[in-house]
């Protein structure tokens, strides 16, 4: 039996783009500003400990854990994104963001035995945001080869994360005009692996059919589970693909995005 998988729904982070250089650039900009204020600061040490100190604050409120899990959020997104969207469930998070940023950067400085004044904390927060948002977002490895190889298949993005930040990354990676629709968890009111996101994306792509869909992503728990929950095939991008015998027949694992189009062709023959 063969079929046509003409709708490719891709994960964003670490599938289509590599956002880690931009996040590192944010921490680097914050470190350089901090070292200008306090010359005793070693910027490499600051960059190493900042993500840990920031995460410590993010995980403090007990109400935030379930939201983080449900929408697939991250502590560094909280440092620079606004989590815009219609869902009231996120209001508490939006209200907390200014306090979070202050406490997070205060925690970074206090790990260096420095008590930073309020204006330094505010400026460090701004430096992170500026450093993270400037410059181009890099495509993930193999994506420049994958996109033309997909031919005239329609491509959509289903991503966990803040809609404002995810849309901006897509724009800065130069992907916007290639995508027929983008569904981000904070705008959708649900996160992967909830199959409702697939239905929303298909509707946004002009009511495409579920039996045309293949999902492409790097996360077993989020992307491949999403495909299983929606009952559609998937291509799993993972550095060490397991033997095919260890995977469901509807999943093909590849080491790089370069091989995605070939993997879809194999799924079409199954
Ligand atoms: Mg990912």
Considering the chain, what percentage of its residues have pLDDT values greater than 90?
96
Q: Are residues 14 and 28 in the same domain?
A: no
- Which of 133, 168, 186 corresponds to the end of one domain? 133
Q: How many CB atoms lie within 10 A of CB 216?
A: 26
- In three-state secondary structure terms, 213 is strand
Ligand 1 center to residue 185 CA distance, Å? 13
Q: Are residues 145 and 254 in the same domain?
A: yes
Q: Are residues 143 and 154 in the same domain?
A: yes
Q: Are residues 187 and 119 in the same domain?
A: no
Q: Are residues 208 and 176 in the same domain?
A: yes
Asked if 182 and 154 count as a contact pair (C-beta separation under 8 A), the reply is no
Evaluate whether residue 1 is within a structural domain.
Answer: no
- Which of 112, 133, 154 corresponds to the end of one domain? 133
Asked if 121 and 105 count as a contact pair (C-beta separation under 8 A), the reply is yes
Ligand 1 center to residue 124 CA distance, Å? 28
Q: Are residues 179 and 220 in the same domain?
A: yes
Q: What is the CATH number of the domain that holds 221?
A: 3.40.50.1000
User: Quick check: 159 pLDDT over 90?
Assistant: yes
Ligand 1 center to residue 35 CA distance, Å? 33
Ligand 1 center to residue 10 CA distance, Å? 9
Domains in the chain: how many in total?
Answer: 2
Ligand 1 center to residue 159 CA distance, Å? 8
* Chain segment 188-247, per-residue pLDDT in tens: 999 999 999 999 999 999 999 999 999 999 999 999 999 999 999 999 999 999 999 999
Evaluate whether residue 2 is within a structural domain.
Answer: no
- Which of 133, 154, 189 corresponds to the end of one domain? 133
Evaluate whether residue 114 is within a structural domain.
Answer: yes
Q: Please, which residues have CB within 8 angstroms of residue 119's CB and are 6 or more apart in sequence?
A: none
C-alpha dist (Å) from residue 206 to 55, 93, 176, 180, 253: 39, 32, 17, 9, 29
Report the pLDDT averaged over residues 71-82.
95
Ligand 1 center to residue 178 CA distance, Å? 19
Q: Whole-model pTM? A: 0.94
Ligand 1 center to residue 40 CA distance, Å? 37
pLDDT bin (cut points 50, 70, 90) of residue 89 is confident
Ligand 1 center to residue 111 CA distance, Å? 31
Residue 114 CA, chain-centre distance (Å), reads 32
Ligand 1 center to residue 113 CA distance, Å? 36
Q: What single DSSP character describes residue 243? A: P
Ligand 1 center to residue 13 CA distance, Å? 4
* Chain segment 7-56, per-residue pLDDT in tens: 999 999 999 999 999 999 999 999 999 999 999 999 999 999 999 999 99
Residue 105 and residue 111: Cα distance in Å, rounded?
10
Comparing C-alpha atoms, which of 252, 251, 241, 25 is closest to residue 135?
25
Ligand 1 center to residue 219 CA distance, Å? 6
Q: Are residues 125 and 187 in the same domain?
A: no
The answer to whether the peptide bond before residue 193 is cis (omega within 30 degrees of 0) is yes
Ligand 1 center to residue 114 CA distance, Å? 36
* Chain segment 96-128, per-residue pLDDT in tens: 999 999 999 999 999 999 999 999 999 999 999
Asked if 184 and 73 count as a contact pair (C-beta separation under 8 A), the reply is no
Long-range contacts of the stretch 143-148 (C-beta < 8 A, 24+): 143/15, 143/16, 143/17, 143/257, 145/257, 145/258, 146/257, 146/258, 146/260, 146/261, 147/178
Q: Are residues 121 and 161 in the same domain?
A: no
Q: Are residues 30 and 104 in the same domain?
A: yes
Q: Are residues 79 and 209 in the same domain?
A: no
Ligand 1 center to residue 62 CA distance, Å? 25
Q: Which domain holds residue 60?
A: 20-133
Ligand 1 center to residue 24 CA distance, Å? 17
Q: Are residues 93 and 119 in the same domain?
A: yes
C-alpha dist (Å) from residue 268 to 5, 153, 247, 249, 263: 6, 13, 16, 12, 9
Ligand 1 center to residue 220 CA distance, Å? 9
Considering the chain, what percentage of its residues have pLDDT values greater than 70?
100
Q: Are residues 14 and 142 in the same domain?
A: yes
Ligand 1 center to residue 218 CA distance, Å? 5
Ligand 1 center to residue 17 CA distance, Å? 9
Asked if 166 and 12 count as a contact pair (C-beta separation under 8 A), the reply is yes
Evaluate whether residue 197 is within a structural domain.
Answer: yes
Evaluate whether residue 209 is within a structural domain.
Answer: yes
């Amino acid at each position: 039996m063969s079929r046509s998988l003409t709708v490719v729904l891709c994960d964003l982070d670490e599938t289509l783009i590599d956002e880690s250089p931009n996040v590192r650039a944010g921490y680097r900009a914050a470190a350089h500003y901090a070292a200008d204020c306090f010359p005793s600061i070693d910027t490499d040490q600051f960059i190493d400990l900042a993500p840990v100190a920031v995460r410590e604050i993010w995980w403090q409120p007990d109400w935030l854990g379930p939201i983080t899990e449900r929408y697939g959020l991250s502590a560094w997104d909280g440092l620079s994104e606004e989590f815009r969207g219609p869902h009231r469930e996120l209001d508490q998070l939006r209200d907390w963001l200014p306090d979070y940023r202050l406490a997070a950067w205060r925690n970074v400085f206090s790990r260096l035995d420095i008590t930073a004044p309020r204006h330094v904390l505010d400026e460090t927060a701004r430096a992170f945001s500026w450093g993270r948002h400037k410059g181009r977002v890099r495509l993930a490895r193999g994506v420049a080869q994958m996109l033309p190889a997909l031919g005239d298949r329609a491509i959509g993005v289903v991503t966990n994360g803040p809609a404002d930040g995810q849309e901006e990354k897509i724009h800065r990676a130069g992907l916007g005009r290639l995508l027929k629709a983008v569904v981000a968890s904070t705008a959708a009111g649900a996160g992967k692996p909830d199959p409702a996101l697939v239905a929303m994306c298909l509707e946004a792509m002009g009511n495409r059919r579920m039996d045309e869909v293949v999902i492409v992503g790097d996360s077993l728990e989020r992307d491949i589970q999403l495909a299983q929950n929606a009952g559609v095939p998937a291509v799993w991008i993972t550095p060490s693909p397991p033997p095919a015998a260890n995977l469901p027949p509807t999943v093909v694992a590849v080491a790089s995005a370069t091989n995605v189009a070939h993997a879809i062709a194999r799924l079409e023959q199954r």
